[in-house]
Amino acid sequence: MTPDVRPFVAGNWKMNGLSGSLAEIEAMRLGADAGEAGAAELVVCPPATLLAQAAFKLSGSKLGLGGQDCHPEASGAFTGDISAPMLKDAGASYVIVGHSERRTHHHETDELVRAKAQAALKAGLTPIVCVGETLAEREAGQQAAVVIRQLRRSLPPETTSETVVIAYEPVWAIGTGLTPTFGDIAVVHNGIRALLTEIGGPSSAKTRILYGGSVKPTNCREILTLNNVDGALIGGASLKAADFLAIAAAYR
Ligand code: 13P
């Protein structure tokens, strides 16, 4: 936690969810509006096919909406891609960029991630910029260096603490049930905060830095109270409203 920073809990549904899953979003909405997330801001990022229907359900609620990726261009001949203005138009306020699954399967570079973050900002979306080391990099003790290098290259210079969210997701912890030790998480988050302060000055003390990778109701409390951990980006455990709300309830 960081003093005076509103925590942020986001669910990344990845390529999961058909229209029947809107019932889970409805249950999340009920929980968010009943204050189950306490002080935390709660956001769900369903697949793009569900965004507009979810936005309709969430109108006027405390549960926010995000996309999972955007193209750097606003429009054009890019078959199958989705632009930041399209996500905004569908009702999103956030967009995940640079998730390790995109970096790995779609060969996304830091430079492309930065261009996507810039497109998001231009469209009035808040980018959730993801970084994280692979298992080989972790075994070589390079986690902090890798994350700092990715962030230096992926963060647009115009971002401020209000206009960007950062997510540290060690690749080897995603979907595996493995997590770094609490000490290891704290070291990387402290390093990210130091970098943000170096490049953005004191206002960067308020940029939200999320942890992601096998966050569950059973381990969230310890992780979310660590220094400079301002929330979580949750994959598998965000698919069910009960689990997602149980994690957010750490902030009640
Ligand atoms: P899991 O919570 O399933 O490990 O996924 C984390 C993640 O990739 C969120 O973006």
Q: Which of 57-61, 90-94, 203-207 has the lowest mean pLDDT?
A: 203-207
Give pLDDT tens digits for 78-96. 999 999 999 999 999 999 9
Query: Does the C-beta of 210 come closer than 6 Å to ligand 1?
Result: no
Res 156: pLDDT = 94
Count the neighbouring beta carbons within 10 Å of the beta carbon of residue 214.
22
Count each helix (H run) and each strand (E run) in the chain, helices first.
Answer: 10, 8
pLDDT of residue 13: 98
- pLDDT of 184 above 80: yes
CA distances from 51 to 17, 91, 249 (A): 11, 7, 24
Question: Residues with catalytic annotation?
Answer: 99, 169
Q: Is the pLDDT of residue 172 over 90?
A: yes
Burial state string for 24-46 with b = 16 or more CB within 10 A and e = fewer than 16? bbbebbebbeeebbeebbbbbbb
Mean pLDDT of the region 68-81: 98
Q: Whose CA is nearest to atom 2 of ligand 1?
A: 235
Percent of the chain with pLDDT over 70: 100
Helix, strand or coil, per DSSP, at residue 66 = strand
Q: Which residues contact 48 (CB under 8 A, 6 or more apart)?
A: 67, 68, 82, 87, 90
Instruction: Please state the φ and ψ torsions of residue 206, each to the nearest 5 degrees.
Output: -105, 0
**Looking at residue 126, what DSSP letter applies?**
E
* Atom number, ligand 1, closest to the C-alpha of residue 213: 4
Inform me whether the pLDDT recorded for 203 exceeds 80: no
- pLDDT for 11 equals 98
From residue 40, how far is each of 7, 37, 107 by CA, in Å?
5, 5, 33
> Would the pLDDT of 183 be above 90?
yes
Q: What's the 126 CA to ligand 1 centre distance in angstroms?
A: 19
Q: Would the CB of 204 count as within 6 Å of ligand 1?
A: no
What architecture is domain 8-46+92-160+171-251?
A: Alpha-Beta Barrel (3.20)
CB distance 166 to 192 below 8 Å: yes
215 pLDDT higher than 90: yes
